[in-house]
Structure formats: C-alpha cells, structure tokens
Amino acid sequence: MPAVTQGSPRTAPSVFDLIGNTPLIRLSSFESGLRNVELWAKAEWRNPGGSVKDRPAARMILDGERSGALTRDKILLDATSGNTGIAYAMIGAARGYRVRLCVPENVTPERKRILHAFGAEIVFTDPMEGSDGAIVRAKAMYAESPDLYFYPDQYSNPGNWKSHYDTTAPEIIEQTNGRLTHFVAGLGTSGTFVGVGRRLREFSSSIRLISVQPDSPLHGLEGLKHMATAIVPAIYDPTLADEDLGVATEEAFDLTRRLARAGVFVGISSGANLAGALQVARQVSDAVIVVVFCDGGEKYLSERFWDERGSSGADQ
C-alpha cells in the first residue's frame, strides 16, 4: 500500500473543523526482523489540539449543544490528565465557553501552560491520586452546583467512544484499503479502543483487537490506566479485546526515545502502544498492524527520561 499523502491545502471555518482525517505513517525502521509485517501509526498528534482527544471532546461538546445541556451560561467542567482538557480548552476558546478542569498537580508543566494559554481554569488535585483523584473532585464539584456546570464526564459519556466509531475507525479502514489485521491502542478513558474496536469488529470479525495498559499500578505512563487498581471508566468494555497487554514504563520510555531518533516525535503513551504492537508483531506473520499514536512529544519535554540512555542503544 502506498504511503498516505497529504492532499491540497484546505480552508476551514474554525479550528473545530480541522479535527480528524489524520494520516497513517509507516514505521519501517521498526519492522526489521519481522515476518512480512507492516507497522502503521495513526498520527493523532496531527489534530489541531495535538492529540487523539480532540475527537471525543468535539463530539461531547456538540452533543451538549444539540441537547441544550451546554449553554453560554454554563461552565464546562471535567476531569482530565491533560489532553482532553487541552481539547476542551481549545474548543471552548473557539466557541466562547468557560472551561474549568480538575487536573492532577503532577501533569507536565507544558500541559499546564497550554491550558492557561487557552484560558482554562485549573483545579489541581492530589498527584498521588492520579486521574482518579481528578474524577472524584469533578464529580463533587458538579454535585454541589449542578446548575453551574455542563459536566460531560468523558469517562462515562458514550460520545467519547462513538467519536472514534464514527471517524477514527472508518479512516483506518479506508487508509489501509481494509487490509489491517491487528489494531492496538492504550486504555485511558478507553474511548479510542472501544470505539475503533467496535467498528472494526463489525467490518471484519478476523481483525484482532489488542488493548495496552501499564503493567503495574505504580507507573509513569501518563494518560493510561492500570484498570485493576483504578476507577474503571463506565464506557470500558473488557470483553472487546482479543488480548490485553501490560507494558513496563521503562520500555515505553525507551521506545519513545527511539521513535524520536527515527523522526517521529510523540508522547509516552505512543511508546507504550508501540511496545504492545511490537509484542504482537514478533508473534505473527503476513500482518498489517495499526497502532494509535495519541499525541506529540512537545508536552513531555520537561520529563527526565529524554536524558536517560535506553537499552536499545539508540541514544548512544
């Protein structure tokens, strides 16, 4: 299959209309030693907010507008580890909504600065409680003042996974000419995996669906959840995956550095997802594997792992 090429420059009424239609990128430098396996990354950092979370944020906001739950006098409130919050803040700024976000205090400084740049109000929560602490705080704030807020609750809102069912999955099917054999994505809210997975399952029951999560509750994979010890999102469907893989933080860090050395500058969850994809790729032959690369590396530049030396030797 030829590489996806960028079409003619397009115009858009607003930044909202630039969301989606992200390219697939061939990861040829990671295919060495595999048995006729193609590795393709869905480049979700190409969304205007810089991540896969632009899709569900846009869908939940549109659903809120259509239902009348989101009006100009409401404050958009939700819990986030960063990327969905950035998407809310970007779209809120473009459409004239106030945005208030519950965010773990230890998210990267880059994410905090982006949220401030878009004008979002941030309520910091206990870093030791991770995204679960932010969820608890947001729920409590909404319960105290339900008339003040529009609370989409990305962890429970079906618009989250439906955004990927309606857009991300059809794009992948078209971009691979229906040839994909495996789909790999990490679990955070689980919206990407559930939405894409359900649509792919309808397209072809032979496509293998592989979810990825941290291999322990104490991990450094920002945006991903260790489901056994976290508040499980209501939209998560544990029966969907053909295989669920645990990934070590250090392996994800190493692969994130290796991707940058290969010219693909992405975030930590993308390294984790690639680790899962490579586990699969080494066990199969004659396969077309699509893995989600959730966001770009710019939001993680302050992380110390960039200065560490990986086991691959790619940093030497």
Q: What is the pLDDT of residues 51-71, one digit of tens each?
A: 999 999 999 999 999 999 999
Residue 28: other Cβ atoms inside 10 A: 12
Give the span between the Cα atoms of 32 and 189, in whole angstroms: 33
As a whole number of Å, the CA-based R_g of the chain is 19
The pLDDT > 90 percentage for the chain reads 87
Examine the pLDDT at 3 and tell me if it is beyond 50: no
Residues 6+ apart with CB under 8 A from 183: 172, 196, 197, 200, 207, 208, 209, 210, 289, 290, 291
Q: What is the dihedral of CA 79, 165, 1, 253, to 10 degrees?
A: 20
**Six-digit token pair at 231?**
């508040």
Band (312; pLDDT cuts 50, 70, 90)? very low
| Residue pair 161/195 in contact by the 8 Å Cβ criterion | yes
Give the span between the Cα atoms of 41 and 277, in whole angstroms: 10
Query: pLDDT at position 142, please?
Result: 98
With left for phi above 0 and alpha for psi between -120 and 50, is residue 130 left, alpha or beta?
A: left
In order of start, what are the domains of the chain with their CATH numbers?
Answer: 15-46+167-307 (3.40.50.1100), 54-150 (3.40.50.1100)
Examine the pLDDT at 195 and tell me if it is beyond 70: yes
With left for phi above 0 and alpha for psi between -120 and 50, is residue 47 left, alpha or beta?
A: beta
Give the span between the Cα atoms of 312 and 258, in whole angstroms: 8
Examine the pLDDT at 315 and tell me if it is beyond 70: no
Residues 6+ apart with CB under 8 A from 231: 132, 135, 136, 155
State the pTM of this model.
Answer: 0.92
Q: Which amino acid makes up residue 141?
A: M
Examine the pLDDT at 5 and tell me if it is beyond 50: no
Band (10; pLDDT cuts 50, 70, 90)? confident
Query: pLDDT at position 314, please?
Result: 39
Query: pLDDT at position 308, please?
Result: 75
Band (310; pLDDT cuts 50, 70, 90)? low
pLDDT per position as a tens digit, 196-237? 999 999 999 999 999 999 999 989 898 899 999 999 999 999
Query: pLDDT at position 9, please?
Result: 56
Residue 71 burial class via C-beta count within 10 angstroms: exposed 0-12, middle 13-18, buried 19 and up: exposed
Mean pLDDT value across the chain:
93
Name the residue with higher pLDDT: 223 or 278: 278
Place of tokens 């940058």: 260
Active site residues: 53, 269
**Six-digit token pair at 309?**
């030396």
Q: Answer positive or negative: Cα dihedral of 262, 30, 169, 171.
A: positive
Query: pLDDT at position 174, please?
Result: 98
| Residue pair 269/223 in contact by the 8 Å Cβ criterion | yes
pLDDT per position as a tens digit, 126-172? 998 988 999 999 999 999 999 999 999 999 999 999 999 999 999 99
Angstrom CA distances, 67 to 63, 77, 150, stand at 6, 17, 11
Across residues 271-298, what is the average pLDDT? Answer: 98
> Which residues are 39's β-sheet partners?
289
Give the span between the Cα atoms of 244 and 272, in whole angstroms: 13
Name the residue with higher pLDDT: 48 or 107: 48
